[in-house]
Structure 1
Amino acid sequence: MALSHKARRRWSLVVLLVALPLYIVVAVTLTDWLRARFDGLPMLVELVIFIGLGILWILPLKPVFRGVGQADPDDKG
């Protein structure tokens, strides 16, 4: 079932304002846990982890954001 343009716009707003900040907290907590577990991580390893986690969040949500910045195709105006 495809989401309407209006529904995708609303869900993208919810994702950006609620889910993404929660995901950032989880990502930083995970990295801090790894840093404590392995007695410090090299900066390059932390960078790779943050880049990977930064890309990972968008993959399942890509359909929600697709076309949100465009005009509503069903609008008759």
Structure 2
Amino acid sequence: MALSYKARKRLSLLILLVGMPIYVVIAVNLIDSIDRLPIWAEVPAYIVLGVAWILPFRSVFLGIGQVDPDAPVERPVDRQE
């Protein structure tokens, strides 16, 4: 089932405002729970976790910054003077 542009926009906002902060807390706690992880291994782990959250949601975020494709096209009014 394909989501409409408006539904994808609302879902992406929900993911960014609610889901991402929750994911950040989980990711930091996950890295923190691994004992004796050297600093040189933490940086790639944070990079991988920073990219991994978006992979399941790439279809939701695709094209959100563009103009609504379902919106009616407004044409300029020709004025005669």
* Cα deviation, residue 43, structure 1: 1.2
Instruction: Give the match's secondary structure for 2:56.
Output: coil
Residue pairs, 1:11-30, within 5 angstroms = 11-30=11-30
Structure 1 unaligned spans of 5+: none
- Matched with 2:51 is 55
Identity of aligned residues (%): 52
In structure 2, what is the Cα distance between the partners aligned to 1:42 and 1:20? 26
> Counting helix residues as a fraction of each chain, which structure ranks higher?
1
In structure 1, what is the Cα distance between the partners aligned to 2:56 and 2:30? 20
Structure 2 unaligned spans of 5+: 74-81
TM-score scaled by structure 2? 0.86
In structure 2, what is the Cα distance between the partners aligned to 1:17 and 1:4? 20
Q: 2:64 aligns with which of 40, 55, 68?
A: 68
Instruction: Give the match's secondary structure for 1:70.
Output: coil
* Moved >2 Å (runs of 4+): none
Q: Which of the pair has more CA radius of gyration?
A: 2
- Matched with 1:31 is 31
